[in-house]
Structure 1
Amino acid sequence: MKQKLVIGTRGSKLALWQANHVAARLREHCPEVTIELKHMVTTGDKILDVPLAKIGGKGLFTKELEVSMLQGDIDLAVHSLKDMPTELPSGLILAAVTERVDPGDALISPAYKTLANLPRNARVGTSSLRRKAQLLNARPDLTIVDLRGNLDTRLKKLTTEKLDAILLAVAGLKRLGWDQQITEILPHTVCLPAVGQGALAIEARENDKETLAMLAFLNHEATRQATLAERAFLAEVEGGCQIPIGVYGQFEAKNELTLNAVIMSPDGKEAVRDRIGGNPVEAASLGHTLAVRMLDKGGREILAKLFAD
């Protein structure tokens, strides 16, 4: 067994919480192993004045960590699974997916509390095309304001940018102990989550068998199966580009995995919704089948308009 593991992490409060959480579990499971954290800055951390969709989206928060891993400078990296591209660099794999925390989207609006109570033309901050489209589908009168930065920065902008509300992931707020600021968790009928939202991904080198063996206990199989279906859906629909989709896999019965999804136009005016259920051992096939079905039902036309713009 290795004597030391080096975990690569971004420097934000949430990224550090995630890395320290995994480090603490590793120290408990492997007390004889020294666990170190190495802080790194990613492209996504550097570019804060441009919407994510315009600079590449997924991969912006992982690339530098992955390069460092492939060079052998770090042994593993801890990410929010929703930040992970569906295709990983050659030589790297998802070693574990942790048990999911609440995957929902939180509305924070001290003055109005809920989406329904927001006044006409209320200013709502979010950096997510997915959230923007689904918000506008429910409330086309809203004015959406781009909101970038770390979690604490975005919370401060609620006041400094004079916003009526902001949308953030429930999981991140809960992990940092800031869930008391949530005024409403949007139901999935209004806002389906991002792929992998609420779960952590531990990435490592495919040939590093010792590290992979040490990380295996962190894997939560039900979450891995559900998010595998979600990532298969994304891979089929997206092809690496940022588009407004929501998808959520869950176990409604012990041996049935259900997947609910939506493909939307950025303005929320067009939407294709569908769901599928089946055996969790066929998770990837379920995601692929649902994606193809939704593309054939009008999703392809929505995406064609988006890419034409």
Structure 2
Amino acid sequence: MKPKTIRIGTRDSELALWQAHTVERQLNALGYETEIVAVKSTGDLILDVPLYELGITGIFTKTLDVAMIKGEVDIAVHSMKDVPTALPKGIVQAAVLERANVDDILVYKGNPDFYTEAATIATGSLRRQAQWLNRYPHHSVTDIRGNVNTRLKKLDESEWNGAIFAAAGLERINKLPNNHITLDWMIPAPAQGAMVVVAMEHDAFCREAVAKLNHTPTEIATHIERQFLRRLEGGCTAPIGALASSIDGAIRFEGVLLSIDGQEKLHIEKVIPPDADYTNVGNDCADEILQNGGVELMDKIRSQLKK
């Protein structure tokens, strides 16, 4: 009997294909047969509407979810920060790969010393917008959409001073320009820099195969970050950052919730000792934020996004 070929579903952008081929190479090295199946997502097709107006939750993953449920692909590879915290019924997280660079970076044009002056920065992310305006309230932020290559091109053709990107995406496809600054003060999106592979719950063969790719420290960190996000957002897109990192066996967690204009900021930092139970840390930190003004701030964000 011919061994099963695992069909790997992916978006067809350069970065998404890089991620899918990375998973393919790792599965091939373990002796599995694979095939890449690329599809276009709604998020790639609609480039003139800000992500939050599309109802960002799942915009880049929905097409692949449908393909999996229909049996057209067996597994799907995603940038984990694009994946909704609640997966569709029947689809499960099968593996989280070892995390890459978590940082956001600013790709700038001309002189990078524009911070004290009026400037326009491009980003399609409410989280990046809010953190930038919190730090530089005298700047303007404009929306930018499209895959990494499209956004680099738009920046090049614009009058903007710079645009914000995830370092990992540019590094993976060797597009990191010299004219960039690492924004080490900006708290990344939950699970930024991590790749996740999802499979059908009933597909024991694929789940067993993909489980061999799982990186436990990254799985733990992203679990905490996404739990924090899920408890805070309640189905609403909001400016939320979260990062869990391992330091000498302990886990340091930092989370933030901001108003869309960046004027309000709720921040939390916690250290979880080695061997302590981490399974509910994200929820506990989110609850602390909610009890200290987060409920009112989330209500305000929801009402602004409905307009």
Tell me the TM-score normalised to structure 1 length. Answer: 0.94
1:245 to 228, 240, 246: 240
- Amino acid of the structure 2 residue aligned with 1:291: A
Q: Which residue of 2 aligns with 1:140?
A: 137
Q: CA–CA distance in 1 between the matches of 2:164 and 2:193?
A: 15
Name segments (4+ residues, structure 1) moved above 4 Å: none
Q: CA deviation at 1:73?
A: 1.2
Q: CA–CA distance in 2 between the matches of 1:218 and 1:132?
A: 34
Q: CA–CA distance in 1 between the matches of 2:267 and 2:138?
A: 22
Q: CA–CA distance in 1 between the matches of 2:181 and 2:120?
A: 16
Question: Which secondary structure state, in structure 2, belongs to the residue aligned with residue 275 of structure 1?
Answer: strand
Q: 1:1-309 counterparts in 2 under 5 A?
A: 2-30=3-31, 33-113=32-112, 117-181=114-178, 183-187=180-184, 190-254=185-249, 256-278=250-272, 282-309=277-304
Q: CA–CA distance in 1 between the matches of 2:231 and 2:122?
A: 29
Tell me the TM-score normalised to structure 2 length. Answer: 0.95
**Cα contact 1:193–1:248 (8 A) shared by 2:** yes
- Amino acid of the structure 2 residue aligned with 1:70: I
Structure 2 unaligned spans of 5+: none
Query: Identity of paired residues, percent?
Result: 38
Q: CA deviation at 1:176?
A: 0.6
Q: CA deviation at 1:29?
A: 1.4
- Amino acid of the structure 2 residue aligned with 1:243: A
Q: Are residues 134 and 68 of structure 1, via their aligned partners in 2, closer, same or farther at CA, if it must alter by over 3 Å? A: same
Q: Which range is displaced more, 207-216 or 176-185?
A: 176-185
Q: CA–CA distance in 2 between the matches of 1:194 and 1:5?
A: 30
- Amino acid of the structure 2 residue aligned with 1:167: I
Superimposed CA distance per residue, residues 154-208 of structure 1 (whole angstroms, 9 cap, x where no aligned partner): 0011121221100000000110112234521101xx3100011000010001111
Q: CA-atom RMSD, angstroms?
A: 1.5
Q: CA deviation at 1:119?
A: 4.9
Q: CA deviation at 1:215?
A: 0.9
**Cα contact 2:259–2:265 (8 A) shared by 1:** yes
Q: CA–CA distance in 2 between the matches of 1:178 and 1:308?
A: 38
Q: CA–CA distance in 1 between the matches of 2:174 and 2:275?
A: 33
Q: CA deviation at 1:283?
A: 3.0
Q: CA deviation at 1:97?
A: 0.4
Q: CA–CA distance in 1 between the matches of 2:54 and 2:277?
A: 34
Q: Which range is displaced more, 285-294 or 15-24?
A: 15-24
Q: CA–CA distance in 1 between the matches of 2:276 and 2:63?
A: 33
**Cα contact 1:69–1:205 (8 A) shared by 2:** yes
**Cα contact 1:7–1:38 (8 A) shared by 2:** yes
**Cα contact 1:257–1:280 (8 A) shared by 2:** no
Question: Which secondary structure state, in structure 2, belongs to the residue aligned with residue 103 of structure 1?
Answer: coil
Q: CA–CA distance in 2 between the matches of 1:90 and 1:120?
A: 50
Q: Are residues 280 and 250 of structure 1, via their aligned partners in 2, closer, same or farther at CA, if it must alter by over 3 Å? A: farther
Q: CA deviation at 1:213?
A: 1.1
Q: CA–CA distance in 2 between the matches of 1:100 and 1:89?
A: 24
Q: CA deviation at 1:34?
A: 2.4
Q: CA–CA distance in 2 between the matches of 1:161 and 1:110?
A: 10
Q: CA–CA distance in 1 between the matches of 2:278 and 2:165?
A: 27
Question: Which secondary structure state, in structure 2, belongs to the residue aligned with residue 17 of structure 1?
Answer: helix
Q: Are residues 251 and 182 of structure 1, via their aligned partners in 2, closer, same or farther at CA, if it must alter by over 3 Å? A: farther
Question: Which secondary structure state, in structure 1, belongs to the residue aligned with residue 212 of structure 2?
Answer: helix
Q: Are residues 58 and 282 of structure 1, via their aligned partners in 2, closer, same or farther at CA, if it must alter by over 3 Å? A: farther
Structure 1 unaligned spans of 5+: none
Q: Which range is displaced more, 277-286 or 63-72?
A: 277-286
Q: CA–CA distance in 2 between the matches of 1:20 and 1:281?
A: 36
Question: Which secondary structure state, in structure 2, belongs to the residue aligned with residue 210 of structure 1?
Answer: helix
